[in-house]
């Protein structure tokens, strides 16, 4: 049996794409190989997410420093794990949980455990002499079959763009393109035509949000969706058949007192569902993420029932990649797609359990980056290895995003795998 003996765990504080600290970790195995990985960080976070450990030192990075999380890896985790032999990733991750001892991983810090868990996976792949995507596929016990389809940020609002526009992300979903390479070319054409349109309509150029989406002062949600369709058409594509759209409403962030404050228009949950339904009939949407709030469990099943068969009901803040929340959503019919973010749950194995539950329920999976991300590209390998239908990384103008797209191109070349069939 192939076992993995820990030789050394190391870590350092690095910066993410927002200029905030995050954690980089390295795992050296006794066999002489090493693997390293870094942890991303959200801004539009769900309340049920695993806990990042931040230093809280007001005079340094506004309290967001990660030196304690780093020290926990160099100290506690290194000391307790050095020399230990693990047969599987699941055993290793269970040990991280045991050492932390809290349900949200807040003592060691989920920002520490994510980096260590992924660094162990990278070292494991290196020891086995297989590419990381193959290692992820083997961990999940599934053959490599397809590459994920791209969902790429075009317009941004909400918490990623100073709350200037109501919808957090309007994403472009290439449909006509048969490869990742061609899909990126189509996305770039739409992005260019959107930038022109924004200049003509709003006299705004190069105002980019955290994930690289264009972020003018859209008057309302319909303008965001309508302008996206106009950009697709102006680039010479048929909207809906060549290139479609997806939206992340991120509505937990404007849900107050049982009402959705969409553009200061207080909507009841029923009215919000009607509004989303109208968008899906008027615009070529393939997926609606967080159409309702993370607290509005009662109304999610009605939303899913309304969209079923036409458009995916994708849960991000609602589910937080947490197995218990996914079980609840499956039981109540609250969603039919999972947005998977490893750092929402804290270890690779927990995220794997979340993916397996979603699969067993017949759901689709979108593997997602965070709005604060790094140049690390493990997410591309994860999306391929776990056979995700979609990947959500952000726009095509910033290197922390491009690292993932460029890694997908390399995997596409190496494997020759086809894109996932459209749902
Ligand atoms: P976050 O946003 O990374 O800021 O949480 C991404 C999303 O809501 O999908
Ligand atoms: Zn989201």
Write the DSSP assignment of 192-211 as a string of letters: HHHHHHHHHHH---S-B-TT
Task: Tell me whether strands 255-256 and 4-15 are parallel, antiparallel or unpaired.
Answer: unpaired
Mean of pLDDT values over 11-29: 98
CA of 349 to the centre of ligand 2 (A): 21
Query: Model confidence over 271-283: pLDDT tens digits?
Result: 999 999 999 999 9
Interacting residues of 340 by C-beta distance below 8 A, sequence separation 6+: 321, 351, 354, 355, 358, 365, 366, 367, 368, 386, 388
CA 268-271-275 angle, to 5 degrees, is 135
pLDDT at position 275 is 97
Q: How confident is the model at residue 1 (pLDDT cuts 50, 70, 90)?
A: low
Interacting residues of 261 by C-beta distance below 8 A, sequence separation 6+: 254, 255, 267
Mean of pLDDT values over 153-168: 88
Put the strands of the sheet holding 21-29 in their side by side order: 34-38, 21-29, 4-15, 85-86
Q: Is the CB of 370 under 6 A from ligand 1?
A: yes
Mean of pLDDT values over 230-236: 98
Q: How far is CA 383 from the centre of its chain?
A: 10
What length does the chain have? 423
Interacting residues of 276 by C-beta distance below 8 A, sequence separation 6+: 249, 288, 291, 303, 306, 307
CA dihedral 91, 95, 97, 102 (to 10 degrees): 150
Q: What is the distance between the alpha carbons of residues 404 and 393, in angstroms, rounded to a whole number? A: 7
Q: Is the CB of 250 under 6 A from ligand 1?
A: yes
Q: What is the distance between the alpha carbons of residues 382 and 368, in angstroms, rounded to a whole number? A: 10
Mean of pLDDT values over 257-261: 95
**Mean pLDDT of the chain, nearest integer:** 96
Q: How confident is the model at residue 159 (pLDDT cuts 50, 70, 90)?
A: confident
Query: Model confidence over 369-401: pLDDT tens digits?
Result: 999 999 999 999 999 999 999 999 999 999 999
Mean of pLDDT values over 97-113: 98
Residue 331 predicted with pLDDT over 60: yes
Q: What is the distance between the alpha carbons of residues 79 and 202, in angstroms, rounded to a whole number? A: 57
Residue 223 predicted with pLDDT over 90: yes
Q: Give the Cβ contact number of residue 289 at 10 Å.
A: 27
Q: What is the distance between the alpha carbons of residues 89 and 139, in angstroms, rounded to a whole number? A: 8
Residue 402 predicted with pLDDT over 60: yes
CA of 336 to the centre of ligand 2 (A): 15
Q: How confident is the model at residue 209 (pLDDT cuts 50, 70, 90)?
A: confident
Tokens 């009605």 locate to: 302
Q: What is the distance between the alpha carbons of residues 152 and 211, in angstroms, rounded to a whole number? A: 10
Structure-token pair, residue 58 = 């007001």
Q: Residue 339, SS3?
A: strand
Mean of pLDDT values over 33-61: 97
Task: Identify the DSSP state of 61.
Answer: G
pLDDT at position 155 is 95
Helix (H) or strand (E) holding 367: strand 364-368
pLDDT at position 207 is 65
Q: What are phi and psi of 46, to 5 degrees?
A: -85, 150
Mutate which of 40, 213, 316, 337 for ligand 1 pocket (most atoms within 8 A of beta carbon): 316
Q: Is the CB of 371 under 6 A from ligand 1?
A: yes
Structure-token pair, residue 338 = 């999972």
Residues designated catalytic: 211, 341
Per the model's pLDDT, the better-predicted residue between 116 and 161 turns out to be: 116
Rg (CA), the chain: 21
Ligand number nearest CA of 318 is: 2
Structure-token pair, residue 358 = 């979603």
Q: What is the distance between the alpha carbons of residues 243 and 188, in angstroms, rounded to a whole number? A: 12
Ligand number nearest CA of 371 is: 1
pTM of the predicted structure, to 2 decimals:
0.98
Beta bridge partners of 314: 289, 337
CA of 84 to the centre of ligand 2 (A): 38
pLDDT at position 204 is 78
Task: Tell me whether strands 255-256 and 312-315 are parallel, antiparallel or unpaired.
Answer: unpaired
Q: What is the distance between the alpha carbons of residues 273 and 19, in angstroms, rounded to a whole number? A: 37
Put the strands of the sheet holding 259-262 in their side by side order: 255-256, 259-262, 265-267
> All domains of the chain, ordered by start, with CATH?
4-129 (3.30.390.10), 140-415 (3.20.20.120)
Residue 323 predicted with pLDDT over 70: yes
Q: How confident is the model at residue 30 (pLDDT cuts 50, 70, 90)?
A: very high
Kindly state the percentage of the chain with pLDDT values over 90: 94
Query: Model confidence over 338-348: pLDDT tens digits?
Result: 999 999 999 99
Mean of pLDDT values over 289-313: 98
Ligand number nearest CA of 160 is: 1
pLDDT at position 161 is 79
Helix (H) or strand (E) holding 97: helix 89-100
Q: How far is CA 224 from the centre of its chain?
A: 21
Mean of pLDDT values over 150-178: 92
Mean of pLDDT values over 215-222: 92
Mean of pLDDT values over 186-211: 90
Q: Give the Cβ contact number of residue 178 at 10 Å.
A: 10
Mean of pLDDT values over 293-311: 98
Residue 423 predicted with pLDDT over 90: no
Q: Is the CB of 42 under 6 A from ligand 1?
A: yes
Q: How confident is the model at residue 2 (pLDDT cuts 50, 70, 90)?
A: confident
Q: Is the CB of 45 under 6 A from ligand 1?
A: yes
């Amino acid at each position: 049996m192939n076992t993995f003996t820990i030789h050394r765990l190391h870590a350092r504080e690095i910066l993410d794409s927002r200029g905030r600290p995050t954690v980089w970790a390295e795992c050296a195995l006794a066999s002489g190989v090493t693997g390293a990985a870094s942890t991303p960080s959200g801004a539009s976070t769900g309340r049920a997410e695993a806990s990042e450990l931040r230093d809280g030192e007001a005079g340094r990075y506004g309290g967001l420093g990660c030196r304690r999380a780093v020290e926990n890896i160099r100290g506690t985790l290194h000391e307790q794990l050095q020399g230990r032999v693990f047969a599987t990733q699941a055993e290793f991750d269970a040990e991280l949980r045991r050492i932390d001892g809290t349900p949200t991983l807040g003592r060691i810090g989920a920002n520490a455990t994510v980096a260590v868990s992924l660094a162990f996976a990278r070292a494991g792949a290196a020891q086995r002499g297989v590419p990381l995507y193959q290692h992820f596929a083997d961990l999940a016990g599934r053959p490599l079959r397809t590459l994920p389809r791209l969902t790429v940020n075009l317009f941004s609002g909400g918490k990623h763009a100073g709350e200037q526009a109501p919808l957090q992300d309007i994403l472009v979903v290439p449909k006509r393109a048969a490869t990742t390479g061609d899909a990126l070319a189509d996305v770039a054409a739409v992005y260019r035509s959107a930038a022109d349109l924004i200049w003509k309509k709003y006299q705004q150029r190069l105002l980019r949000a955290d994930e690289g989406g264009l972020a003018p002062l859209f008057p309302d949600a319909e303008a965001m969706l309508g302008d996206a369709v106009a950009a697709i058409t102006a680039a010479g594509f048929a909207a809906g058949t060549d290139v479609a759209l997806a939206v992340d409403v991120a509505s937990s962030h404007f849900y107050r007192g049982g009402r959705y404050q969409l553009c200061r228009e207080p909507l009841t949950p029923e009215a919000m569902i009607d509004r989303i339904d109208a968008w899906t009939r008027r615009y070529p949407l393939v997926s609606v993420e967080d159409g309702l709030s993370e607290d509005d469990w009662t109304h999610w099943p009605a939303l899913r029932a309304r969209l079923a068969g036409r458009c995916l009901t994708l849960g991000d803040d609602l589910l937080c990649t947490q197995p218990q929340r996914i079980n609840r959503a499956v039981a109540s019919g609250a969603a039919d797609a999972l947005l998977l973010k490893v750092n929402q749950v804290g270890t690779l194995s927990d995220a794997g359990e979340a993916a397996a539950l979603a699969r067993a329920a017949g759901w689709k999976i979108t593997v997602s980056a965070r709005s604060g991300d790094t140049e690390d590209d493990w997410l591309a390998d994860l999306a391929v290895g776990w056979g995700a239908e979609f990947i959500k990384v952000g726009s095509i103008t910033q290197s922390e995003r491009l690292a993932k797209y460029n890694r997908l191109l390399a995997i596409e070349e190496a494997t020759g795998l086809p894109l996932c069939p459209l749902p």
